[in-house]
Amino acid sequence: MELFYAVLRAFLCGGILCLIGQILIDKTALTPAKILTCYVVAGVLLGAVGLYAPIQEWCGAGASVPLTGFGANLAKGVREAVAEQGLLGAFTGGMKAAASGLTAAIFFGWIAALLARSQDKA
């Protein structure tokens, strides 16, 4: 039963994030690229002030998988690197924290490109 509630919380959190994005697309002049950027920045800001960790704990993958989770991961990496290395950590911490996710995205994107056949659009 615990698994059911974990999946339900993840679904609700992810669904709310998607709903907000869809409302922004429908009701504003923001482009999808600007909305995605806003999600990353929101994750960075919420992560920097320590508000995203409780959201991630409650929502699980519903908060860690979307772009807000990427932004929060960047903020966490910067915070930890600054604590260890000082000012230099502000420049290196975010990329170190996100390196495995970025590497996986590039690798699996490459695999998908190898497996898919490109076609001319008519």
In the prediction, which pLDDT does 122 show? 65
Has residue 40 got a pLDDT over 70?
yes
Q: Give the tens place of pLDDT for each residue, 71-119.
A: 888 888 988 999 999 988 888 898 888 898 889 989 999 999 999 877 7
User: What's the mean pLDDT when you consider all of the chain?
Assistant: 89
Structure tokens, 70: 């990427």
**Residue-level pLDDT at 23:** 95
Give the CA angle between residues 112, 75, 26 to the nearest 5°. 65
> Encoding tokens for residue 50?
């320590």
Confidence label for 58 from pLDDT (cuts 50, 70 and 90): very high
For 1-17, the pLDDT digits (tens) are: 899 999 999 999 999 99
CB 35 within 8 A of CB 18: no
Contact between 52 and 46 (Cβ < 8 Å): yes
State residue 48's pLDDT score: 84
**Distance (Å, whole) CA 9 – CA 18:** 14
pLDDT surpasses 90 at 24: yes
Judged against a pLDDT cut of 90, whether residue 67 lies above it is answered with no
